[in-house]
Chains A and B, each alone.
Chain A
Amino acid sequence: DGGITQSPKYLFRKEGQNVTLSCEQNLNHDAMYWYRQDPGQGLRLIYYSQIVNDFQKGDIAEGYSVSREKKESFPLTVTSAQKNPTAFYLCASSIDPRGLYNEQFFGPGTRLTVL
């Protein structure tokens, strides 16, 4: 089965903690993306990566960090610097790193709640 997996499905964080969300794909896609979705709203881009060992900030990168050491994996760390991290986090990938004429495949999401 090809696709994108995200884990965990639900994550609870205490104030001041860093947490890491996992995203793995076996679609052999070059580009991967992290989005944040708040209730009743659209998706906002946090980080994206077009190739291994390279990534770019999106529109709301502050308080987040990523790595891209392997083509299949693009983990997102939500640091204590992110003041309002409670949200639904979605990972996506696409085959074309130029982002032209291609669709994004999404994982099932991780719901992060700060206690």
Chain B
Amino acid sequence: SQQGEEDPQALSIQEGENATMNCSYKTSINNLQWYRQNSGRGLVHLILIRSNEREKHSGRLRVTLDTSKKSSSLLITASRAADTASYFCATDLYNFNKFYFGSGTKLNVKP
């Protein structure tokens, strides 16, 4: 089974609303990353949060990490139609060099 899993699988909101996506994982990690993928394209790195950090901001993005619950959340504030994409979390296995991606949350922001 995969290391990271996102929830919900799909999310549809109106422009201007906030979008929250969650990621759960199973083992200890060094860091957790969030990526965005537009349909049929490669992934783009959004934000990296280290295991000793609890919250990180980047523009309209806010990521939290709770290592005791093995979970992370990505909040996109004041969403725009251009935010429509799939969002993936990626985790490493502690002391390994591989990343594990969840199956993603498909976000649709309606104008």
The residues of A with any CB-CB pair to B shorter than 8 Å are: 4, 31, 33, 35, 40-45, 48, 50, 56, 58, 88, 90, 92, 97-109, 111
Contact = CB atoms under 8 A, between A and B. Distances in A.
Contacts, number: 65
Interface of B: 2, 30-31, 33, 35, 40-45, 48, 50, 88, 90, 92, 96-104
Do most interface residues of chain B lie in helix, strand or loop, or is the interface mixed?
strand
A60 B74 CA distance: 29
B27 to A, nearest CB: 15
A103 B48 contact: yes
Contact of B101 (A42, A50, A102, A107): A42
A101 B96 CA distance: 12
A61 to B, nearest CB: 12
Contacts of B88: 42-43
Most chain A CB inside 10 Å of its own CB: which residue of B30, B40, B43: B43
A43 to B, nearest CB: 4
B99 A42 contact: no
